[in-house]
């Protein structure tokens, strides 16, 4: 199946500047394509991941993928999707973010058929007069003002700095076309105006025969109409320090039945027949949630590796069964990150005192009743002895005590020294 046909089947194409021409070119040769990300933060979230999954598909189909880290454009700020002017970051912060994003990209894409570039390398070398003479002259003000990304900001105002962003992005496309043999730019739907501005500029410089194309992805919405990629806790990050691999896995595992097949098509590299089999099982045995489990496995493996999936599944199983004693300290930190947290000292303490002092139980009478009835578990072990003494330093490297009351009510006690 041609890469363009596959992307259409997966529902991954929103707009293309010339679909027939692009399809023909991909059948004739290995093309160069790129997608960019500005270093406005030190990690991507799964919303950023969407166009890069498409880039990965082209890479796997034998095409030459280029990732552009926007060290230059990131120091300016893209007005797209913003209701007000960005606060400029220090160049020190921009360069720090560049390094972190580059590390993430290397992890996701490996070394084959991939080139990582930074537009700071060429944009920083253009002086003002050259910018105005060589590029500014090619852009019509009326056309720029009509671009959705600019028009949406005119009411509240837009600075000349952010207004020129589309020229800088066009220069990127032209630079990669000339120096890296890149013919296609991939981006989100909100980037359509910027990408087509680059195509127009290349045609003005190189002639209308220059084979350059635009391809954007659809806006990803959940079945309930809300924006994909957000949780109650905020964005789902690719950085494991911001969103643990367990939380990442759980995000995908908890997707709605109405969305899961769409996400399997878009975010996994499973073959068509595998996805269709999972879709059929979703219809006949939805309670097994096999499609969700496969989605969580595939995307977590792509972003964090197979070991992260094994860890996430161990944590999930332990929390469900109550067998937490075999989890590692790292797994406890991941799985209990959002659990109610209390503090205990490192000194041995009677179980009744522990429950009352941490306010897990409201009174000693209630604590004694729950212990006697077998409702209290310490580090996975049911405790019925009212005189039981807990040594907080004996498990999980002396960092945690896991307290469970009833079937599912967990508390993470952090040990202080």
For 249-260, what is the mean pLDDT?
A: 94
pLDDT of residue 233: 65
Task: Identify whether the C-beta of residue 156 lies closer than 8 Å to the C-beta of residue 83.
Answer: yes
Q: Among positive and negative, which fits the CA dihedral 273, 279, 283, 288?
A: positive
Q: Six-digit token pair at 311?
A: 């860890």
Mark out the alpha helices in 230-350 (DSSP H runs).
245-253, 257-267, 272-284, 290-304, 306-321, 329-335
Contacts of 51 (CB under 8 A, 6+ apart): 35, 186, 187, 188, 217
The owner of tokens 């954007």 is 216
Cα gap 54→13, rounded to integer Å: 9
For 326-334, what is the mean pLDDT?
A: 92
Cα gap 376→387, rounded to integer Å: 13
Q: What is the pTM of this model?
A: 0.86
For 108-132, what is the mean pLDDT?
A: 92
Cα gap 188→227, rounded to integer Å: 14
Asked whether residue 186 carries a pLDDT value surpassing 80, the answer given is: yes
Instruction: Mark the binding-site residues for L-tyrosine, compressed into ranges.
Output: 34, 165, 169
Q: Among positive and negative, which fits the CA dihedral 128, 133, 134, 136?
A: positive
Instruction: Mark the binding-site residues, compressed into ranges.
Output: 34, 165, 169, 230
Asked whether residue 145 carries a pLDDT value surpassing 90, the answer given is: no
Task: Identify whether the C-beta of residue 193 lies closer than 8 Å to the C-beta of residue 161.
Answer: no
Task: Identify whether the C-beta of residue 213 lies closer than 8 Å to the C-beta of residue 184.
Answer: yes
pLDDT of residue 180: 96
The count of other CB atoms within 10 Å of the CB of residue 219 is: 12
**What SS3 state is found at 343?**
strand
Task: Identify whether the C-beta of residue 162 lies closer than 8 Å to the C-beta of residue 85.
Answer: yes
Instruction: Mark the binding-site residues for ATP, compressed into ranges.
Output: 230
> Shortest CA distance to 44 belongs to which of 65, 64, 63, 67?
67
Asked whether residue 249 carries a pLDDT value surpassing 70, the answer given is: yes
pLDDT digits (tens, 9 = 90+) for 150-179: 877 777 788 888 889 999 999 999 999 999
Q: Among positive and negative, which fits the CA dihedral 79, 80, 83, 87?
A: negative
Task: Identify whether the C-beta of residue 80 lies closer than 8 Å to the C-beta of residue 191.
Answer: yes
pLDDT > 70 fraction of the chain, expressed in percent and rounded = 98
Strands (E) across 21-63 are located at 32-37
Q: Among positive and negative, which fits the CA dihedral 317, 320, 321, 327?
A: positive
**What SS3 state is found at 307?**
helix
Cα gap 4→57, rounded to integer Å: 10
pLDDT digits (tens, 9 = 90+) for 207-228: 999 999 999 998 888 888 887 8
pLDDT of residue 326: 87
What is the DSSP code string of 354-389? HHHHTTSSSSHHHHHHHHHTT-EEETTEE---TT-E
pLDDT digits (tens, 9 = 90+) for 62-101: 999 999 999 999 888 777 766 667 778 888 999 999 999 9
Domains assigned to the chain: 3-217 (3.40.50.620), 230-321 (1.10.240.10), 341-416 (3.10.290.10)
Among all residues, which ones are annotated catalytic? 40, 45, 48, 82, 86, 169, 190, 227, 230-231
**What SS3 state is found at 51?**
helix
The owner of tokens 């990209």 is 105
Q: How confident is the model at residue 142 (pLDDT cuts 50, 70, 90)?
A: confident
pLDDT of residue 379: 94
> Shortest CA distance to 48 belongs to which of 222, 188, 185?
188
pLDDT > 90 fraction of the chain, expressed in percent and rounded = 76
């Amino acid at each position: 199946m041609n890469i363009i046909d596959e992307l259409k089947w997966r529902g991954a194409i929103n707009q293309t500047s010339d679909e027939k021409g692009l399809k023909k070119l991909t059948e004739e040769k290995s093309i160069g394509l790129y997608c960019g990300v500005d270093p406005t933060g030190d990690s991507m979230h799964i919303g950023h991941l969407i166009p890069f999954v498409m880039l990965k598909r082209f890479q796997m189909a034998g095409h030459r993928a280029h990732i552009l880290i926007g060290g230059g454009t990131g120091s300016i700020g893209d007005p797209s999707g913003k209701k007000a002017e960005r606060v400029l970051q220090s160049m020190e912060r921009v360069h720090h973010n560049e390094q972190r994003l580059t590390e993430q990209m290397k992890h996701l894409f490996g070394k084959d058929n991939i080139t990582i570039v930074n537009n700071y390398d060429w944009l920083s070398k253009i002086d003002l007069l050259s910018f105005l003479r060589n590029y500014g002259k090619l852009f019509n003000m009326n056309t720029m003002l009509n671009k959705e990304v600019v028009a949406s900001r005119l009411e509240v105002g837009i600075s000349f700095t952010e207004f020129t962003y589309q020229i800088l992005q066009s220069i990127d496309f032209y630079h990669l076309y000339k120096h890296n043999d890149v013919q296609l730019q991939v981006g989100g739907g909100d980037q359509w105006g910027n990408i087509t501005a680059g195509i127009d500029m290349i045609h003005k410089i190189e002639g209308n025969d220059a084979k350059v194309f635009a391809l954007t992805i659809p806006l990803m919405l959940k079945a309930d109409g809300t924006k994909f990629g957000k949780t109650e806790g905020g964005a789902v990050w690719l950085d494991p320090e911001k969103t643990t691999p367990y939380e990442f896995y759980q995000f995908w595992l908890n997707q709605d039945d109405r969305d899961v097949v769409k996400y399997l098509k878009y975010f996994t590299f499973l073959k068509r027949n595998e996805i269709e089999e999972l879709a059929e099982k979703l219809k006949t045995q939805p309670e097994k949630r096999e499609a969700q489990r496969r989605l969580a496995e595939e995307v977590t493996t792509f972003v964090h590796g197979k070991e992260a999936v094994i860890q996430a599944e161990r944590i999930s199983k332990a929390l469900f069964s109550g067998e937490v004693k075999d989890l590692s300290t790292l797994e406890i930190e991941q799985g209990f990150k959002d659990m109610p947290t209390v503090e205990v000292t490192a000194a041995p303490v009677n179980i009744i005192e522990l429950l009352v002092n941490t306010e897990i139980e409201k009174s000693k009478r209630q604590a004694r009743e729950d212990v006697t009835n077998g409702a209290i578990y310490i580090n996975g072990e049911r405790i019925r002895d009212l005189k039981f003494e807990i040594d907080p330093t004996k498990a999980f490297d002396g960092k945690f005590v896991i307290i469970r009351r009833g079937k599912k009510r967990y508390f993470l006690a952090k040990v202080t020294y």
